[in-house]
């Protein structure tokens, strides 16, 4: 039997980079084909234990994706490509919805038409759950879905498309609802790296205290280390149950205000915060905390990185930039 052939969409993003690092350390018997509309910001040659090739491609061009799938014929597809910013989806709802649903539909249609015998990982989001009360927590896979942003609605649509292709065509699909994942290499457009870069700027200016602008810091999120997330993705590809849906989360909720305090403590800076109304998201979910009981029961996955470890590793990463 030859190498496992893994196709990764959204190849240039930080999750893909961590997935490559996981494969580099844990499974050298793979051939990776990465596709993205943007060039990767990292050097693929550093992953020298695995075979990696990258192709620039717009997944809205269904003939191009069909041709690539036909030539590569993957054993596994990990669909990471998306406009993943909720804030962006409010500013560009049509573009975000069409992109996030149609690129995935193009992939599934090509898999079905080519009759590829591959396993597809459809990566969804905890944003699908929407606004919930504390009595609804922790969120389980059978909790109600009440998406409240264009991004979240697109993720629900992707999940429903997955079920249609799994049930009607027998495509081997596993679905996730991945909670807020953070870690080194993440773009500062996202909330936690954004905090780090602002507080680090105070430190780098030689000051022991300062003020940063934030959005609503009372919001509670379930943050999970991206290194735990990519291990979950790999384990689901290898051992997950076809047609099943899995939360990937830490199981613990943390206020954004506490994240700011933790980062300030790591950097030994006293930080005051002021809310900038422009940074407050429209109709934001106040609290999201998940249960990983199902994935733990089915394949034995558990998160291993503590939040403090993740934040310290992220601070070291941004210091080195």
Tens of pLDDT, residues 123-180: 999 999 999 999 999 999 999 999 999 999 999 999 999 999 999 999 999 999 999 9
Q: Give the model confidence (pLDDT) of 22-74 as tens digits.
A: 999 999 899 999 999 999 999 999 999 999 999 999 999 999 999 999 999 99
0.85 exceeded by pTM? yes
Ranges of beta strands (E only) in the chain are 4-9, 30-36, 51-56, 76-79, 119-125, 172-178, 181-182, 209-214, 220-221, 224-225, 245-248, 254-255, 270-275
Q: Which fold has domain 4-182+225-251+289-305?
A: Rossmann fold (3.40.50)
Give 54's strand partners: 34
Q: Where in the chain are the domains?
A: 4-182+225-251+289-305, 191-220+253-287+311-319
Domain 4-182+225-251+289-305 and domain 191-220+253-287+311-319 have a common topology: no
- Predicted confidence (pLDDT) per residue in 172-205, tens digit: 999 999 999 999 999 998 999 999 999 999 999 9
| Measured distance CA(198)–CA(300) in Å, rounded | 38
CATH architecture of 191-220+253-287+311-319: Alpha-Beta Complex (3.90)
SS3 282: coil
Better-predicted residue by pLDDT, 320 or 287: 287
Band (pLDDT 50/70/90 cuts) for residue 1 is low
- pLDDT tens digits for range 248-296: 999 999 999 999 999 999 999 999 999 988 888 777 789 999 999 999 9
Q: Quote the percentage of the chain above a pLDDT of 70.
A: 99
pLDDT at 273: 95
């Amino acid at each position: 039997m030859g190498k496992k052939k893994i196709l990764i969409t959204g190849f240039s993003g930080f999750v893909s980079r961590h997935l490559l690092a996981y494969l580099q350390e844990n499974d050298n018997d793979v051939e990776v084909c990465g596709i993205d509309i943007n060039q990767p910001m990292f050097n693929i040659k550093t992953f020298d234990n695995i075979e990696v090739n990258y192709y620039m491609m717009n997944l809205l061009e269904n003939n191009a994706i069909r041709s690539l799938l036909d030539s590569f014929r993957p054993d596994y597809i990990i669909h990471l490509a998306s406009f993943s910013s909720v804030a962006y989806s409010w500013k560009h709802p049509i573009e975000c919805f069409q992109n996030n649903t149609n690129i995935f539909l193009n992939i599934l249609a090509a898999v079905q038409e080519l009759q590829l015998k591959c396993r597809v990982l459809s990566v969804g989001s905890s944003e699908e759950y929407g606004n919930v009360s504390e009595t609804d927590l922790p969120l389980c896979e059978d909790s109600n879905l009440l998406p409240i942003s264009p991004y979240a609605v697109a993720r629900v649509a992707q999940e429903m498309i997955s079920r249609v292709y799994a049930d009607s065509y027998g495509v081997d699909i596993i679905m996730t609802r991945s909670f807020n994942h953070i870690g080194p290499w993440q773009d500062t457009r996202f909330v936690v790296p954004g905090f780090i870069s602002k507080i680090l700027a105070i430190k780098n200016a030689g000051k022991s205290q300062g003020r940063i602008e934030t959005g609503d810091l009372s919001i509670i999120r379930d943050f999970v280390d991206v290194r735990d997330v990519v291990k979950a993705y790999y384990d689901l590809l290898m051992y997950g149950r076809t047609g099943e849906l899995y939360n990937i989360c830490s199981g613990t909720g943390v206020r954004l205000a506490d994240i700011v305090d933790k980062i300030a403590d790591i950097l030994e800076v006293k930080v005051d915060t002021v809310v900038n109304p422009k940074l407050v998201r429209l109709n934001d979910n106040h609290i999201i905390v998940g249960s990983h009981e199902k994935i733990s029961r089915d394949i034995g996955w558990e998160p291993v990185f503590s939040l403090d470890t993740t934040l310290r590793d992220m601070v070291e990463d941004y210091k080195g930039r």
